[in-house]
Amino acid sequence: MTYHIELDAPLDRQVALIASDQAGKARHALLGGIDDRDEAIHEARKRFKKLRGLYRLVRPCAGDFYDAENAYLRDAARNLSVIRDAAALVETIDRLRDDPAHEGVVDDLEHVRARLVERRDAIAEQGGDLDDAMADAVAACEATMEAAGALDLKLDPDEAAACLADGMTKTYKRGRKALGKARKSGDPEQWHEARKRMKYHAMHCRLLRHAWPGSMRLRARQAKTIADLLGDDHDLAVLAALADDEPDQVGDKGPRASLSHAIGLTSERLRSEAVALAEPMLADKPKRLRAAVAALCRLAA
């Protein structure tokens, strides 16, 4: 099943179908459907994020369900994150090393990369806890399918349309606010918050693409591009924090200085590109967007 809601069908049944599909794919990956363990974990975490995006969309009419399932999936994904996060740092240094803007410090970045590979491999060798985390995540997938199947919203088409419009608008509004705060403060955590909201907005546009096909597809692509740019920026912030807090994990003083400079330049570029894309996409007032989405969902139903 593709990741979209059929608006002429009962909303709770659509949520159950999509949730079962995403949880089933995560379960399949964790149980050996993907041979490489790191890739299997990465795939499962992506599916968990899509599940949380789905539940966030219907939160206005399923608050208790959202609270329980979102927390459960968040914790399951977090427990899988250690080895994936270590691998992501190696991918981050690879992007820096391959950027022509940093060709003058490639040797220093290679030095840092070697340290990060050692760190990743050492974490991967401590596999006991990860095996337990993967087993817990499989159980979470199975529990998710069961809980979604029991969801009973009892909504008429107008109520379902209002629920979806409210859920989408809430995330959109929070995304506008987070981006504004990030631009003012420069705080990496605020940029990360903006990234999460854009990621969810992209998911909501995909889920509702049958309401407004051309516009929703375009918004989904734009929001995903913004989220990807800010995701790369967040990876840089995590790497910078590791260099500050645990310098021995990163390398010698000279390479660390080169790393810091490369991170600063790249982060500034990524944020500028994200803002340039976000400004026109976030220009609509939330009330106007909500009214349009509600009307189009009612029409599609």
Please give the average per-residue pLDDT across 52-62, as a whole number: 96
Q: Give CA–CA dist 221/228, Å, rounded.
A: 10
CA–CA distances in Å: residue 46 to residues 22, 23, 29, 81:
9, 10, 11, 11
Q: Residue 182 above 90 pLDDT?
A: yes
**Quick one: tokens of 177?**
């606010």
pLDDT band at 130 (very low <50, low <70, confident <90, very high): confident
Please give the average per-residue pLDDT across 101-112, as a whole number: 95
**Are the C-beta atoms of 169 and 290 separated by less than 8 Å?**
yes
> What's the pLDDT score for residue 51?
97
**Are the C-beta atoms of 133 and 79 separated by less than 8 Å?**
yes
Please give the average per-residue pLDDT across 102-116, as a whole number: 95
> What's the pLDDT score for residue 172?
97
pTM of the model: 0.93
Q: Residue 129 above 80 pLDDT?
A: no
Instruction: Calculate the average pLDDT of the chain.
Output: 93
Q: Which residues have a Cβ under 8 Å from the Cβ of 178 and sit 6 or more positions away?
A: 190, 193, 194, 196, 197
| Residues of the chain above pLDDT 90, percent | 80
Q: Cα dihedral sign for 290, 292, 293, 298?
A: positive
